[in-house]
Structure formats: structure tokens, C-alpha cells
Amino acid sequence: MHVNRQYVLANRPVGPIQETDLAYRESPVPVPGPEEVLVKTAYISLDPSMKGQMEARTDYTAPQALGEVMRARAVGTIIQSSNPRHPVGAQVFGFFGMQDFAVTDGRRIPFHQYSVPVDPEVALGLLGGTGMTAYFGMLDIGRPRRGDTVVVSGAAGATGSIAGQLARLRGARVIGIAGTAEKCSVLREELGFDEALNYREDNLSEGLDAMCPHGIDVFFDNVGGEILDLCLARLAQRARVVICGGISRYNATTLPPGPVNYFNLVYRRARMEGFILSDYSARFDEARTALQSWHASGVVRQRSTVVRGFDKLPNALVRLFDGANTGKMMVRTD
């Protein structure tokens, strides 16, 4: 390949992301300097957080500039190296962006180098940003115990599907909430969730009442809005509410009112806590080691939706918000 295909941020979205918010560009393939490596990306991740970065609305990262290559996590291979610690052929994971090639010395774009190659879908999903988000959010903040009732929203997505499995591993009863009957079947039949509710078709109030007769001990929330409110109304004593994400508000131009049932945190002596994955960077190796061993022993499974073709990146990002994915959404670049 003689050019570096790239998607750059063309517009800051107002409301839902449009494909035209990303613009295609071709650049020369970059040449690594001293201490640098050239990475060829193979699988590029689509993440809801991209929306906030495109809008320059996040305060935990520097704003994404217009015209800059769209930031994205990716898995790839080192194809040129001027750094003996990072040999040609090594599999790497990092924020290489929506492009075929990235150059880094490991500081400008920090990356994780796998000592042995792993399935790239697993490297990007379970062992990547979303698997580790589930690990720290569920195990450190949610802290499920044997016999607990755990509810996960956005349960068939990249983070939710792992978070629910981790709660099961701790001996909890796990209920997933997702947007289609097919996703609910995957949760129950493939991923070991005890129960699943389809928020588009089922009566969530009745379903949660029936499935959580003693209340919810841990609510792992990826969605916010009405689903958060319904779960707040059903907290058990000393419940933990993990605010991982709030995708129901990401496309809203006017934010909805806050949850009416938040005062149950007082009555139930409960705790609601948000977190950002990057705060846990010192413990990423711990998370990867644990997740890899659970995956190897078959107790935690990875699901992914792989879209084929670099030119599908803008469409795949739009479709992520429509629920097109089960598990980790990614584009295979070739």
C-alpha cells in the first residue's frame, strides 16, 4: 500500500453523528524516525465516546481538533521499527486512529505490545478498552457478591456483555437489558445471563419487579435516562450503581431532566459512582491477565460485530448508535 487512508473529523455533530462528519483523506505513509515504529492497523474500534470527542465535549481528554485524524483504538502489527524493544511483527493495541498507518515512539501514542499474538477481535474487545472498562467498573465499583442481583443496561454491547459475565463469575444473578429479542437470546443462551429484558418491547417495570423481587444490589449502567430511573426505584439496601455510560443522552440536543428516583440512594443507603477507564491505567496489566485467563478457560466469552472494509468506518460509527452491534463493534480495514 502506498498511501495512508485516513478519516479526519470534518464537522462537529449536532444531534446524531452523520457519515459526512468524517472526511476521507489520503496521505503519504509516514516514515518512522529514531526510536519509532510504523504500525499497520488491522481492526479499528468504534466507541460511543467518539461522539463526545467529536463534539469536543469531554473534559478527560484534549479536544479532538477539526481536520485531525479521528481518534480510535486499533489493533495492528509493527511493520517497521527503529526501536529494539518493539520488533517488527509484534501485535500492538493503542489509539492509532482511523487510518492504515501510524508512527509512534510509544510515548506520543502509547500502546500495549502483546508478547504472543492473540485473536485481534479479543485484543480489541475483551482485552481492549471495553473489556477493561467492564473489569474495573463491575469488579472495583460494583463489587458483586454471591447471591446478589445485578442488572446491566446496554447488556449486549461491548462493555455490558463482559460486565454481566464478570458478575456471574462472582456468583451473582444477572439480568441484562438490551434492544432486540435476538440480543436477549444471545445474553441468555451464549453469555450465561440468567434473564434478559428487551427495553423496546417488554414492560421494563413489570419485568424488573418480577426478576428482582428483593431489589437490585448492583446496577451497571451504560444507558442512563428512563432505564436508570427504573433501576434506581428498585435498589436493594447498600446497592451500588455504577455509572459507566449514558448512551441514551449522547444524541440529545436538549438534555432530559435528572432521574426522579435518585432519592432512593438515601432510603437504601446506596452509592452511585461514575468512573473513567484511563484512571486505572496503572492496573491495565492486571485486568488483561485476568480477562485473558478467564477467556482461555471459557468462562468469559467475547462477542463482536466485524464490519469489513476501511470505507465502512463512518457508517459503522453511525450504526453503533442504532444498535447494529452485538458485542464489540469494529471495522476490519482490509
Binding site for ligand NAP (CB under 6 A): 47-49, 129-130, 133, 154, 156-160, 178-180, 183, 222-223, 244-248, 275-277, 320-321, 323, 325, 329
Nearest CA to 44 among 111, 120, 117? 120
What distance in Å separates the CA atoms of residue 232 and residue 270, rounded to the nearest whole number? 10
Residue with cell 438515601: 266
Task: Select 37 or 230, whichever has its Cβ closest to ligand NAP.
Answer: 230
Helix, strand, coil content of the chain in percent (nearest 5): 30, 25, 40
* Nearest residue (CB) to ligand NAP, 117 versus 256: 256
Residues with Cβ within 8 Å of residue 260, at least 6 apart in sequence:
229
Minimum CB separation of residue 242 from ligand NAP in Å reads 9
Kindly tell me which of 250 and 294 has the beta carbon lying closer to ligand NAP.
250
Listing DSSP states for 187-202 in one string gives: IIIIS--SEEEETTTS
Q: How far is the CB of 306 from ligand NAP (least distance, A)?
A: 13
Cβ of residue 87: shortest distance to ligand NAP, in angstroms?
30
Separation between Cα atoms, residue 236 and residue 295, nearest integer Å: 31
Q: For residues 176 and 153, what is the distance between their CA atoms, to the nearest angstrom? A: 6
Q: How far is the CB of 187 from ligand NAP (least distance, A)?
A: 10
CA distance 184 to 196: 5
Cell of 304: 463482536
25: burial class by Cβ within 10 Å (0-12, 13-18, 19+)?
A: middle
Q: Which residue number, 69 or 72, has a Cβ lying nearer to ligand NAP? A: 72
C-alpha cell at position 270: 446506596
Q: How far is the CB of 183 from ligand NAP (least distance, A)?
A: 6
Among 254, 197, 251, 182, CA closest to 227: 197
Give the nearest distance from C-beta 278 to ligand NAP in angstroms.
7
Shortest distance, position 318 Cβ to ligand NAP, whole Å: 12
Q: Are 192 and 170 in contact (CB under 8 A)?
A: no
Complex with ligand NAP: residue 4 or 130, whichever CB lies closer: 130
Closer to ligand NAP by Cβ: residue 264 or 305: 305
Q: How far is CA 132 from CA 79, 127, 286, 329, 331, in A?
A: 27, 6, 10, 15, 20
**Of 165 and 222, which has the nearer Cβ to ligand NAP?**
222
| C-beta of 120 vs 245, nearer to ligand NAP | 245
Give the span between the Cα atoms of 34 and 30, in whole angstroms.
Answer: 13
Q: Phi, psi (5° rounding) for residue 186?
A: -60, -45
Of 4 and 45, CB closest to ligand NAP:
45
Q: How buried is 259 (Cβ within 10 angstroms: 0-12 exposed, 13-18 middle, 19+ buried)?
A: buried
For residue 334, the minimal CB distance to ligand NAP (Å) is 23
CB of 2 vs ligand NAP, minimal distance in Å: 33
